[in-house]
Amino acid sequence: MLPQELIRRKRDGEELSSTQIRRFVAGIADGSIGDGQIGAFAMAVFLNDMSMDECVALTTSIRDSGGTLDWRGLDLPGPVLDKHSTGGVGDLVSLVLGPWIAACGGHVPMISGRGLGHTGGTLDKLESIPGYDITPSNATFRSLVEEVGVAIIGQTGSLATADKRLYGVRDVTATVESIPLIVASILGKKLACGLDALVMDVKVGSGAFMPTPAASRELAEAIVAVAGCAGTPTTALLTDMNQVLASCAGNALEVREAIALLTGEVREGRLFEVSRELACEMLLAGNLADSRAQALDRLDGALRSGAAAERFARMIASLGGPADFLERHDLYLPHAPVTRAVHAPRAGVVQAMDTRALGMAVVELGGGRLQAGAAIDHAVGLSRLAAIGETVDDKRPLALIHARCETDAERASARLREVVTVAPQPVVAPSLIHGVIRPREVRS
C-alpha cells in the first residue's frame, strides 16, 4: 500500500493492519517516507486514536526499526531490568535505582536522555561528573551490565532508529500529546534493550508531563497493556509531582543528593520513599524477591552494607569518572559562584507549588536548555527546597539558589516567591504514590 493510502485510511478512522504499520515505520527508518507524510500520519493518529492491536504493532515496529540488545549469550545470573520515568523536577531516581537494583542481583542496562522542557535529564546530571563517558563502546556497555550490574548511558543511533525521526516531526506538528504515539516512543526504545521486565514511573501533578491525573492514569494503563502484549511484563507506578521530588533541582546538586542516599546519609524523605517503592516493584518483577517484605529487606540491606554505593562508584570509574568519586565527590562536582537564601514574604506553611515553574527557574539559571544542543551549567540550581506542609520563616528559607551571578540569583528569587504558596494554616502533603497498575489490572 502506498504511504498516502495508509494515511488516508487512518485519516478516515479505519484500522491499519500490523503489516501496513510495520512497512510505514520501516519507511520512516530508511528515509523513503518524507517528513510531510510522517506528520500527516501522526496527525491522523492524534485525531482518530489507535486500537490496542495498532498500538502494539506501532510499538514493536519502532522497537525493531534498529538494532536490539540480546543478553542471552552472556548467561547473566540475574534478570535484565529497567525503569523509565515520564520526567519530573528533582527526579534523580535513576542515579539511585540502577546501582541499588544491581546490588540486589539485577542487571540494569539503563539508556537515558537529556533534559526536556522543565524536566531534568539523567545524562545531564551524569555529565557533571568529570570524565564520565555517556557514549561508551557496545563492548564496554555490555561488560558493565554483566560485571557491575548497571550502566547508565545515552541512546545509541542504532536503537529504535525510526523513533528519532517520528518524534522530531511530532515536536513541530502539535502531535506530541497523542497517547499511542507517546507509548510507542517510550516502549520502542525501552523494549529494544532486551528487558525481562520494566517498571514505569508515571508522574501526576503540576510538574507532570500529562496535563491531568486522569491522563496520567490513561497513559500508565496503555503502557502496561502494550508492553505486556509486546512480551515485556511491565508495572506502572503513578507518583506525585505536585512538588519537587528531591530536596534539590539542578545537575551537580542532584548527584550530591544521590550519593547522600546511597551512602546512608539520607534514609527518609520523598526521594527515598519513591525510589524504594520503584526498586521494590523491580525486584518483584524480576523474581528477585518472593514478597514485598522480602524485597524491602533486600533493598535496605544493600544500602546498609554499602553494596549499592559500591556499584555506583564502580560504574562511575568504569565509564571514565574519578576512581575516588564517592569519597571526594564534593571536590569533583562544580560549585556555583553565588549561593543565596530566598525567604517567603511572610512566615507560614508551604501550601502548594507550581513544580513546572520551579523546573523552568532552574532552566533559566542555566541548568537546562532553552534550545536544542545548547550548553548547560551543571553547577546551578536550587537546594534545601522546602516541602509542602513545612514551615518557613526568617530562619528556614524557601530554598537556596545556586547561580552564576547576582542578577540570575535575583531573578530566580522573584520566581520562587511567585510560584510557592505560603499561608498560616497547616496542610496535608499530597500522597507520594497515587496508584500502582499491574498487567492483570489493565482492561484490554
Q: Would you please indicate which residues are annotated as catalytic (active-site) residues?
A: 82-85, 122, 170, 185, 189-190
Task: Provide the pairing of β-strand 381-383 with 399-403.
Answer: antiparallel
Residue 139 CA to residue 373 CA, distance in Å, equals: 27
Distances (CA, A) of 262 to 88, 217, 310, 311, 365: 20, 30, 9, 10, 28
DSSP state of 249: B
Helical (H) or strand (E) element with 407: helix 406-419
In sequence order, the β-bridge partners of residue 403 are: 338
Angle at 12 between CA 10 and CA 15, to 5 degrees: 45
Dihedral angle at the C-alpha atoms of 89, 222, 83, 190, nearest 10 degrees?
Answer: -110
- Could you tell me the sign of the dihedral formed by the alpha carbons of 281, 283, 284, 289, in that order? negative
Residue 47 CA to residue 50 CA, distance in Å, equals: 9
**DSSP code per residue over 121-175:** -HHHHHTTSTT--SS--HHHHHHHHHHTSEEEEEPPTTBSHHHHHHHHHHHTTT-
Residue 234 CA to residue 212 CA, distance in Å, equals: 22
Residue 268 CA to residue 364 CA, distance in Å, equals: 30
Query: Could you tell me which residues come within 8 angstroms of residue 268 by beta carbon, excluding any fewer than 6 positions away?
Result: none
Residue 246 CA to residue 125 CA, distance in Å, equals: 14
- Strand, helix or coil at 22? helix
Evaluate whether 245 touches 270 at the Cβ level (below 8 Å).
yes
Distances (CA, A) of 426 to 244, 273, 344, 352, 391: 19, 22, 16, 11, 9
Residue 215 CA to residue 97 CA, distance in Å, equals: 26
Evaluate whether 237 touches 63 at the Cβ level (below 8 Å).
no
In sequence order, the β-bridge partners of residue 82 are: 198
